[in-house]
Structure 1
Amino acid sequence: MIGLIRRAMSSWIVLGLLGLVLIAFIVTGVGDPFGSMGGGGSRLAKVGGAAITDAQVRQQLDRAVRAARQQDPQVDTATYVRAGGFDQILSQSIVAEAISQWAEKHGFGVSRRQVDAEIASIPAFQIGGRFDQASYEAALAQQNLSDRELRKGLTGDLLRRQVLMPVSLAASVPDGLVKPYAELLLEERTGSIGIIPSEAFAEKTPPSDADVQAFYAKNSRRYMVPERRVVRYAPITYDTLGAAVAPTDAEIQRFYAANKAVYGPSETRTLAQIILPDEAAAADVTERARKGENFAKIAADKGFTAADIAIGEQTKDALASATTPEVAAAAFAAPANGTTDPVRSDFGWHVLHVENIAATPGQSLEQARPEIVEKLTAQKREDAMAELIARVEDGFAKGDSMAEVLKANNLSETVTPPLTTGGQAPDHADFQLPPALQPVVKAAFTLAPDDDPVVEDLGQHNYAIVAVGEVVEAAPRPLNQIREQVAADLVRSRAFDKAKEQAEMVVAKVKAGLPLRQVLADAKLPAPQTVTNRRIDVASQGERIPPPLAMMFTMPADAVRTLAAPGEQGWFVVKVDEVKKGDLSTAPAMVESTRAQFNQFAGEEYAAQFARAVAAEVGLERNDKAIEQLRQELAGGAAGEQ
């Protein structure tokens, strides 16, 4: 999880400022990563004349965490903050604002045409590879963004790209630095890795009660259970509303009467259109078409292609909106395969040919009833839900208890066992919190024990009233509940210590000149494994590199060292037997590949240094006390959870 977060934050100057990250966030459904500079809350920093507020950073952090959860659902805010996410987001916000101000001051500019081009190039706003206005408007509505807000964000991104692109691309690393590193990547090592397993030294006699108690007292933090809270909640769902949301016959009839345009008969026409600058030329088109000449051929004679004249299937209202009511009236008055007289508009003289007429009969009330019932039910549900939530919140506002509010609104309460922030009940192994109720637990941990209950939105039109019951402070589990576990941990810890002593003896003998394989055999321990790897192959494994293999590439030739195995399973003994220097002649492309990586890293460093210099020139004041307070608050959100 930590690796995922750190990869997401790597190269943050280039990823966060050089690219058009605003659009990337819209496409993934997260929103503008930089947010609005006018947010409320306490000020964390002042950049020029603009404030970076805690509300703004909270919003950006929440969006970043939601984006990270798309790859790892276990990511939470506290983990993200402890991995450095808070500091990166704060730095991004500061530098983004500083570069925007600096760019405007020094005459950088972005035209509306540039912004239009960026918007049109976004796949989320396209259908069939072409920009679609309806898709654009739907995407903005989904993210609760206006066209003005999007354009403002894009303008800032384009300004930052203009400033940082030349800086980052100017880096060029010389051969003197590239070649030694490329040779190092091709370096090959052969070594031996032995394991001294703890289980080989485990005591057969169970530890005494006194020893178990002493181990428990010394290692009580191992058995710490985080703060738990009893959560009281009352679901508010559509089922809660009952039959009151069913529409009456009178309501159905009124809806039908008010929507005659929807349920009445309709007609669409498939049309072709030629627009000419003068009436005489347009009249010639009409005359030729009415004499039976092919409309597409007439258009070709006038210099139009088939694609130029095709306007497809149209309703009368849609055509009137695209042209004029007079043009639409003429088109819908003509018969099938008929051609209109020339009609004038601001575009010129229109002649339309009717290729097809599709008439749709209207629906009777009984035919439309199922659809109307569905629409009215949904509308009444939303209204009833809003009214119920308002009554609940009004009740708490005037001082009613949770029991009184629930009784007044015919709601039922559920009480959980003590839960951690992750929804686990350590003392109730059979308890399982439904994932949909995780927001209930999260809300309970944001409340003080004496706070009024709150209404929490669970998504999918589901809500819950949430209150805090008993608060159980963080404490170690009682020894009498976990004695077997503690005794097993003590046996393993002692065996681990003895394995370490044995590993150190093995190392001493190997350093004295004995072969590792012989020393392990004499001690009746497993034979070592011989491994041969190149550094580049090991590096390609990323976080999956076995720790002993990784250590082998940090040691000098003939060195031997110990390394603890995870979970006190034992100790590794690692020896480097041979180191072969990399030969660039076997991989000539390695130099340029390495140079490209170095150029990227150098470019990112140039951009980072330039950005910091810009922030200093614009003027930066940090409120370190407020920053640290917010960092600690956010990092503590899931502290200690198991």
Structure 2
Amino acid sequence: MLTFFRSFFQSKVGIAVTLGFLALIAVAFAASDITGSNFGGVAGGDNAAKVGGQTIGTGALSQAVSNAFEGERQRNPTLTMQRFVASGAITQVLDSMIDRNAIYDFGKKVGIVASDALIGSELAKIPAFLGPDGNFNDKQYRGVLAQQRLTDAQVRDDIAQGLVARQVLVPVAFGASTPFGLARRYGELTLEKRKGAIAFIPSEAFAPNTAPTDAVLAQYFKANLGSYIVPERRSIRYAVFTDDAIKGARAPTEAEIQQAYNANKAAYAASETRTLTQVIVPTEAAAKALAAEVAGGAKLDAAARAKGLLPNQLAVTREQLTSQASAAVAQAVFSAAKGTLATPAKSGLGWHVVKVDGVVQKAARSLADARGELVEQISIKLKRDALSDFTARIEEELDQGGNIGEVAKELGVTPSVTAPLTADGKVFGKPGETVPADLARVLQTVFLMEGEGKPQLAEIVPGKKFVVFEAADIAPAAPPPLAQIRPVVAANWAREQGAAAARAAADKTIAAIAKGMPLAEALRSAGAGAAKTEAIDASRKEVAASGKVMAPVALLFSMAQKTTKRLEAPRNDGWFVVRLDEIIPGKLAANDPLVAQLASQLGQLTGREYADQFRKALRQEVGVSRNPAALRAVRERLVGGGN
């Protein structure tokens, strides 16, 4: 409910970003692999911002943005750095870093610090730094830092900032409360009802009928390049082969067969397995009493259950029973005939009362008897070893500059090349087509390769099926030539021109309504008589219950009565004209349970607002300045990096 309110009032909460640990490195450690970049000095100055007595370097900012990009690309594989930066990522990341530095600077001034011991305890909680035993592993820690191109000082400073931020901001937000009167007013807003209408003036109704000139279209295309960027595409050259490619694996020798037989003599020796029903009791007297009852004609299972005991069934050899119970129990059980009760015997678990349900005798098997089985087992191992040697040789050939064509010729297979693929496994330009199943496991690796013609070997089905693959053709994320998409660009230009005319029509409509003209008549007078109009008569609660709140509806619920506003539709599709005729206030009793619930929820949001205001006040307290030239340089460096 409160989320719904805040979407109407456009409030913003930034505390979550500030309190999060590891702003610089957290995303990097969450990602499975980060290629990274060497962010040294950037033109425009080495400092992106100054916060109190501290500076934020362009290298640190670039690295933080890149790490955030890689983390986001885990969720959206086709995301490009251009689109990421265009969404405001640099500003958002820099704001977070400024806040953390401002809080840290303030904390030092008032004596709030993070000790080395506390920083160490936080390090020990990061899964990427833990060894197989679940404890902090310094070697692994250093290895991860080297992989991410981070220093120990960077990581510890970042954790220190997070710890100080927590100590500074949590007390600010803690214990905030909201008066019941305010909570009641919020509750009444859910019952508030509004009446009005929403008209949509489509751009296509005002789009020009004449095509744009080449110069006009080229200028439009250049100004909107970011809208036409297609994701990075990579083709994969590959050759698939199976373990059948291993030819001429030798047969087992007599010595190997004899050795395998000797190593498993116990498995081929004569053996006896007995199936048993067993009950364990604590004393010898209880065991004898139970045995006597069975000897008198009772069933062991029923007699045991009648006493609250739980019998169990098992199948064991003498050696197994000796290990599980005791030699005495095994002697008693294997001395009893099939269908009889063994003499009660003791183990560390208690006294065993056992009935022999069945006896299975297994005759000894000679070397001649087991020969076929042994030959099969050894042959499988020999083939597996040969396959391991073979794949190792292929990998060595590839490492030394071999190519897929040569390997495929050696294997007797024909290499293939896929159509251009995007990072999410889709065939570019062919809806519904995806990466071949044999390549699904190597797709991510292909998109992490630094260039073309660097083949690798991978398993498709462990020990059975393999693939040699490489990036055959890499097309970086970029807009296609205008000639290639001219009809699409021309249509978008026409829509933009139509949107401008639709906006003018919306303004004329609003001006006519202000003079007392009804909405429908005002639309006609503005040349938008074909606009679709929908009457609105609903409460906030009803709107929220309908699911997603459309933007013009949200606007209607934030307007003053008897007012009219316009709102742009996405993608230059047109303009909305929103008219609010009447507001009918909602009523909520002071003792309604909803009031107390809202007071509690609003208290939490109030605490966040306090922390957000405090955060902004700290910026003013310590002083913040940004370096526009350095920020432009960071942007150019990131966008021009081929992502």
TM-score, normalised relative to structure 2: 0.60
- Residue in 1 aligned with 2:332? 330
- Residue in 1 aligned with 2:278? 272
The 1-side partners of 2:566 and 2:132 are apart by: 61
Give the counterpart letter for 2:470 in structure 1: A
The 1-side partners of 2:268 and 2:175 are apart by: 61
SS of equivalent to 1:443: helix
- Residue in 1 aligned with 2:395? 393
Change (3 A) 1:585 1:233: same
Give the counterpart letter for 2:191 in structure 1: L
Give the counterpart letter for 2:559 in structure 1: M
Q: Deviations over 1:246-286 (max 9, x none)?
A: 99999999989949859998745242313324x45544444
- Residue in 2 aligned with 1:434? 436
Q: CA RMSD in A?
A: 6.2
Report if aligned partners of 1:290, 1:338 keep a CA contact under 8 Å in 2: no
- Residue in 1 aligned with 2:196? 191
Report if aligned partners of 1:65, 1:80 keep a CA contact under 8 Å in 2: no
- Residue in 1 aligned with 2:186? 181
Q: Deviations over 1:337-364 (max 9, x none)?
A: 533323232334x132317337598999
Q: Are 2:598 and 1:594 aligned?
A: yes
The 1-side partners of 2:507 and 2:250 are apart by: 76
The 2-side partners of 1:323 and 1:550 are apart by: 75
SS of equivalent to 1:476: coil
Report if aligned partners of 2:183, 2:598 keep a CA contact under 8 Å in 1: yes
Q: Are 2:469 and 1:484 aligned?
A: no
Give the counterpart letter for 2:204 in structure 1: E
SS of equivalent to 1:582: coil
Report if aligned partners of 1:224, 1:477 keep a CA contact under 8 Å in 2: yes
Change (3 A) 1:566 1:253: farther
Gaps of 5+ in 1: 4-9, 18-32, 43-57, 92-97, 106-144, 153-162, 613-627
Give the counterpart letter for 1:502 in structure 2: A
The 2-side partners of 1:325 and 1:34 are apart by: 55
- Return the offset for 1:445: 2.9
SS of equivalent to 1:394: helix
Give the counterpart letter for 1:342 in structure 2: P
Q: How does 1:368-383 map to 2 (within 5 A)?
A: 383=385
Percent same amino acid among aligned pairs?
28
- Return the offset for 1:236: 4.3
The 1-side partners of 2:119 and 2:502 are apart by: 62
Change (3 A) 1:486 1:102: closer
Give the counterpart letter for 1:571 in structure 2: W
SS of equivalent to 2:185: helix
- Return the offset for 1:638: 12
Change (3 A) 1:354 1:224: same
Q: Are 2:346 and 1:340 aligned?
A: no
- Residue in 1 aligned with 2:469? 466
The 1-side partners of 2:194 and 2:402 are apart by: 74
SS of equivalent to 2:393: helix
- Return the offset for 1:528: 1.9
Change (3 A) 1:194 1:217: same
- Return the offset for 1:11: 11
- Return the offset for 1:393: 1.8
2:134 to 140, 149, 161: 149
- Residue in 2 aligned with 1:559? 563
The 2-side partners of 1:249 and 1:80 are apart by: 66
Q: Are 2:502 and 1:496 aligned?
A: no
Change (3 A) 1:435 1:63: farther
1:223 to 228, 248, 251: 228
- Return the offset for 1:516: 1.5
- Return the offset for 1:529: 0.8
Change (3 A) 1:218 1:397: closer
The 2-side partners of 1:322 and 1:65 are apart by: 54
1:573 to 555, 577, 580: 577
- Return the offset for 1:561: 1.5
Deviates more, 1:234-243 or 1:201-210: 234-243
Report if aligned partners of 2:270, 2:363 keep a CA contact under 8 Å in 1: yes
- Return the offset for 1:489: 2.2
Change (3 A) 1:230 1:285: closer
2:588 to 581, 584, 588: 584
Q: Deviations over 1:34-88 (max 9, x none)?
A: 899xxxx99xxxxxxxxxxxxxxx999999988x7xxxx979898999999x99x
- Return the offset for 1:572: 1.0
Q: Deviations over 1:525-573 (max 9, x none)?
A: 335211123223433455x322211222232322322122223221111
Give the counterpart letter for 1:387 in structure 2: D
Give the counterpart letter for 2:498 in structure 1: A
SS of equivalent to 1:269: strand
Change (3 A) 1:75 1:403: closer
The 2-side partners of 1:178 and 1:147 are apart by: 51
The 1-side partners of 2:357 and 2:67 are apart by: 53
The 1-side partners of 2:497 and 2:539 are apart by: 37
TM-score, normalised relative to structure 1: 0.60
Change (3 A) 1:474 1:298: closer
Give the counterpart letter for 1:477 in structure 2: P
Report if aligned partners of 1:269, 1:313 keep a CA contact under 8 Å in 2: yes
- Return the offset for 1:193: 0.5
Give the counterpart letter for 1:351 in structure 2: H
Give the counterpart letter for 1:453 in structure 2: P
- Residue in 2 aligned with 1:443? 445
Change (3 A) 1:174 1:429: closer
SS of equivalent to 1:584: coil
The 2-side partners of 1:366 and 1:518 are apart by: 103
Q: Deviations over 1:153-180 (max 9, x none)?
A: xxxxxxxxxx99x999988765245323
- Return the offset for 1:192: 0.8
The 2-side partners of 1:247 and 1:207 are apart by: 79
The 2-side partners of 1:246 and 1:228 are apart by: 47
SS of equivalent to 1:352: strand
Q: How does 1:112-261 map to 2 (within 5 A)?
A: 148-149=133-134, 174-238=179-243, 240-241=245-246, 258=264, 261=267
Report if aligned partners of 1:517, 1:527 keep a CA contact under 8 Å in 2: no
- Residue in 2 aligned with 1:351? 352
Instruction: State which structure, 1 or 2, has the greater radius of gyration over its C-alpha atoms.
Output: 2
Q: Deviations over 1:271-321 (max 9, x none)?
A: 2313324x45544444454344554676579xx4133xx123343466544
Q: Are 2:531 and 1:530 aligned?
A: no
- Return the offset for 1:510: 1.9
SS of equivalent to 2:278: strand
- Residue in 2 aligned with 1:113? none
The 2-side partners of 1:557 and 1:246 are apart by: 92
Paired residues in the alignment total 518
The 2-side partners of 1:404 and 1:290 are apart by: 79
Report if aligned partners of 2:503, 2:575 keep a CA contact under 8 Å in 1: yes
Report if aligned partners of 2:78, 2:423 keep a CA contact under 8 Å in 1: no
The 1-side partners of 2:68 and 2:368 are apart by: 51
The 2-side partners of 1:169 and 1:318 are apart by: 63
The 2-side partners of 1:549 and 1:497 are apart by: 22
Change (3 A) 1:246 1:437: farther
- Residue in 2 aligned with 1:159? none
1:517 to 517, 520, 526: 520
Report if aligned partners of 1:245, 1:384 keep a CA contact under 8 Å in 2: no
The 2-side partners of 1:478 and 1:432 are apart by: 25
